[in-house]
Amino acid sequence: MPKSIFLLFSHKLTSEQIDQLKEKGIERFFYLPDALQNIWSNVPAEGIVLSEYLKPLIGWLSENSQEGDFVLIQGDFGATFYMVDFCFDVGLIPVYATTKRSVREKIVDGSIVKISEFKHVEFRKYERWKK
């Protein structure tokens, strides 16, 4: 069975990221449908219960994934924690992208402007803490 990855984050994969995942044997890529992407990208800062708010995403993953599939999860800290925990419980493999940041400074109209560039490095599995 081909490996799949489900993408719970607010960006599109770069060609470099796609190539790296393919090298790891992942053949199928599933972005969130638009309505679910809107939910994931706009987690309210107040007034919600995450378990209720994220039910549609849990449902989508439950219906479309199978044990051993990968899930790239990056976003709101609480929502990310909740979805990573869900993945561990149902046998999915949660991962995140690591980056290397380089900062340059230049002077523009007498002001110092900092420019931060982020370059993808690798995908790393989330791990559970063990006593």
Query: What SS3 state is found at 81?
Result: helix
Record the pTM.
0.87
Residue 117: pLDDT band with limits 50, 70, 90 = confident
Residue 75 lies in a domain: yes
DSSP state of 51: H
pLDDT one-digit tens code per residue, 5-27: 999 999 899 999 999 999 999 99
Residue 130 lies in a domain: no
Residue 99 lies in a domain: yes
CATH number at residue 17: 3.40.50
On average, the pLDDT of the chain sits at: 94
Residue 31 lies in a domain: yes
Residue 131 lies in a domain: no
Residue 101: pLDDT band with limits 50, 70, 90 = confident
Residue 61 lies in a domain: yes
Residue 13 lies in a domain: yes
Give how many domains the chain has, as a whole number.
1
Residue 26: which domain range?
A: 3-125
Residue 71 lies in a domain: yes
